[in-house]
Amino acid sequence: MSRPATLIPWDTNGTNSTQPPSGHQTDGWSLGGTAVSAYDNYMKAAFCDWIEYLQKTAVLVELSHWNEVLDPSVPVFALDVQYTGTPLWIACDSNGDIHYSDDYGDSWTTVSSVHAESLYAICRSAYSGKWYTGGQRALGGTNPGLYYSSDGVSWSTALSLPASSYIRGICEMAAGNMCVVGRHAPSGTAPMIYTGALTSWTARTPGGSFGTYLYDVAYGASTVIAVGQTGQIQRSTDEGASWSVISPAGSYSGIFHGVAYDGTGTWVAVGESGEIQYSTDNGLTWTSTNPSGGYTGDFYAVKFGGGLFIAAGDTGELQVSEDGITWHRRLTGTTENFRGIGVNISTGHTMVGSFAGPTFSSLGNFR
C-alpha cells in the first residue's frame, strides 16, 4: 500500500480540469496552512501530492488512498476494528465472527470461537493486554455474553447476560477495568452498564429512568461517558460506579451512535441526521456543531487518533476535526455504509468496517 509514484488532479474526460467531478467536494483542504478553493487554477499543480483520479470511476481518493482489505464471503456488519500498538488488527461482525490481521490489514484470518449471533463492539485493554468483544445472544439459544482473549484467536466467556440483553459498547477505564454498555433484560430496552474485568463484573444502575438503551462508551480524564437512544448521555466520575444524566444540546432526541475523547479535554458524540456535539468541560455541557458539506446522513462511529477526531457514516462518509468543533469531509472513494472505526493513535492509520461487509484501510493521517 505504498504511495503512487504519479498522481494526477481530477480529470473527467481525459483532460485536466479546474473542477472536481460532479458530486465530490474538497472543503477543508489547505496548502501551507492557507485554505485553497477547489476552483483555483493553480490547484492542479498544488494538489498533485494529495489526490489522484481513478480512471473509469471519476472518484477522488486522498493521499491515504483507501483500500478494501477485508471482504467476507457473505454480507456481514463489520462493526469495529482496533489497533493494539503492534501490527495486529481485530474486527468483529454480525455473523459473530472475529477477523484478525498481523500485517496492517493486508491479509486476514477468520476465527469463530465465540459462537455469538452478532458482535457489536471490541476493545483492547492497554493495561492487561486482553481483548474484549460482545454482542447479541449466542447461536443455539444460549445466553449472550462478553468474551475476552489474550491473542485475538482463542476466546473465553467473561460475562453471561440474560437472553434479551446485548452489548453495544466497550471501553477501558483505569488500571484495566472495563465498562460495557448496551441494553438489558427483562424488557430488552433498558440501558445496561457493567464494570469489571475478565470474569468479575458488577451491574451498575444508569441515571434517570430511560426506557432506551446505550450504543457506545468512552473514557478520559477520570470520566466515563455513555451515549445512546433519545439523545441519552450518561456520565460517571467514579469509574462507572454511579451515573448521572446529562442533557444534550438543543433537546436532541435522536440516537447517539458514538462517543470519543481526545485526551486533552474535548469530548465528541455523533449520531443520526449528521448530529455532532462536543463538550469542553468534561462532559457536563454539550454544544451542537455542523458536519462539513451539509451532510445529513447518519454517523455511526467516532474515534480519536493521530491528533484528529474521525467520524464515519453512511455512503462512505468520513469527516475529521482537530478540535471537535470544525469538521472537514475526507473523500474515501466508496459509497459503502461505514459502521466501525479503528485508529492507530500515534500514526492515524485507520480502518473502517462497512454494513455490507468490506473493511477499508487507509495509511494516511488525513491532514
Please give the chain's pLDDT, 367 residues, in tens. 333 333 333 333 333 334 444 444 444 443 334 443 443 333 333 232 222 222 222 222 233 456 676 665 433 445 566 666 666 788 888 778 888 888 777 778 888 667 677 888 889 898 998 999 988 765 555 566 789 998 888 888 888 777 777 899 999 999 999 999 998 765 556 899 999 999 999 999 999 988 788 999 999 999 999 999 999 999 999 999 999 999 999 989 999 999 999 999 999 999 999 999 999 999 999 999 999 999 999 999 999 988 999 999 999 999 999 999 999 998 888 888 888 888 877 667 787 777 666 666 665 555 6
Is pTM beyond 0.85? Reply is: no
Q: Any idea where the domains of the chain sit in the sequence?
A: 1-61, 67-362
Residues 6+ apart with CB under 8 A from 213: 168, 182, 183, 184, 189, 190, 191, 192, 228, 229
At the topology level, CATH places domain 67-362 in Methylamine Dehydrogenase; Chain H (2.130.10)
> How does DSSP assign 308-353, residue by residue?
EEEEEEGGG-EEEESSSSS-EE---S----EEEEEE-TTT--EEEE
Q: Half-sphere exposure (CA, 13 Å, Cβ side) for 52?
A: 16
3-state class of 44 per DSSP?
helix
Residue 170: exposure state from Cβ atoms within 10 A (0-12, 13-18, ≥19): buried
